[in-house]
Structure 1
Amino acid sequence: MDDTIRGIRIRRGGPADAPAVLTMLDSAVAWMNDRGNTEQWGTTPFSAQPARVEQVDRYLTENLPFLAEVDGTPAAAMVLGSGPDPRVPITPADEPERYVRLLVSDRRFAGRHLGSALLAHAVEETRRAGVRLLRVDCWAGGGGKLVAFYERQGFTSTETFRAGSWPGQVLAQRVG
């Protein structure tokens, strides 16, 4: 997919993109921490946590990863799975679904609407697969700003959950 209006190219990703995705995640952690958000993804860069590095490798190998590039530079990433990460304590869907397991952008590209472009791509991939349900979960803290972002993208809040002290929100979108 090419979004020529904004100069964004979305391509299929894979295991070779792990360094770029880790860089995006590290930049997001630093950006959040600079704004006082130490709860969403903690304070330690993903690249410095072996379990997080393994998680990224697993996501890029076992799921459908996509990267948004700006002028050939990986700027954002999304990973679609056939369901949520099994460690997330949410109610399973009673129908086939696509699930956004990861959505992150490199903060150097803030304001380019890369997350919106990737979510629109997720809708198309879900439709192309003949699946009618697209879900995502996200951090529900911070005044619900992230939840509101997903709602602006056409998702509807469904269930809340807690992973330890981490408040989460599941959102869903029907794909026609």
Structure 2
Amino acid sequence: MNTPAIRAGSAADAGTLLRMFDDAVAWLVRRGSAGQWGTEPWSADPAKVERVRGLAAQPGLWIAEFDGEPAGALLVSTERPEYVPQAAEPDLYVNLLLTAGGHGGRGVGGALLDHARDLARARGLGLLRVDCWAGGDGSLVRYYTRQGFTPAERFDRRGWPGQVLEQRVR
């Protein structure tokens, strides 16, 4: 299996991210997991379009590509969402991990998480954390545990069940 090339993202990638979110919503609806991000394309909601533009403008955005075609996105930061408890030590936080439509099963998410681990090590951080939707059949939590993460705190954000996971990086 080919490994995707990973490049730094920029505000110019907002349209690419928006397409990835739209693809993800359609895929989640097909799987019966609409509780994660709803049933409507993000591109149809002006507030979500603005949110995606804000994500694309952040400095920790990375885009995975196969032959120049976007295959996934990663957003990392030393800032965590306000609903996630502070870690006992400095950490790198995965704020977004997306695989583009048509690239599922190609190892894109794993390659981007490997990149996040490398970034954490390069910054001298020993902890990588992420949160995800813990609803449905729990498959997203299982995905992260297969990627080497350990479940930590659970939370409920206005009816949205979530799970914080963490991983030591050496």
- 1:83-106 CA-to-partner distances (Å, cap 9, x unmatched) read 2222xx221113211100011111
The residue aligned with 2:23 is 27
Q: How does 1:1-176 map to 2 (within 5 A)?
A: 6-86=2-82, 89-176=83-170
- Matched-pair contact (CA < 8 Å) for 1:135–1:171: yes
- Give structure 1 regions of 4+ aligned residues with deviation exceeding 4 angstroms: none
Tell me the C-alpha RMSD between the 2 structures.
Answer: 1.2
- Matched-pair contact (CA < 8 Å) for 2:17–2:56: no
- Matched-pair contact (CA < 8 Å) for 2:3–2:108: no
Distance 2:59 2:50 in 1: 14
The CA deviation at 1:11 is 0.7
Uncovered stretches (5+) of structure 1, i.e. residues with no partner: none
Per the normalisation by structure 2, the TM-score is 0.95
- 1:10-68 CA-to-partner distances (Å, cap 9, x unmatched) read 11101100101110110010111122221000011111222222222222223400010
Per the normalisation by structure 1, the TM-score is 0.92
The CA deviation at 1:7 is 4.4
Q: Could you tell me the percent identity over the aligned residues?
A: 48
Distance 1:117 1:151 in 2: 15
Count of matched residue pairs: 170
- Matched-pair contact (CA < 8 Å) for 1:75–1:109: yes
- Matched-pair contact (CA < 8 Å) for 2:78–2:90: yes
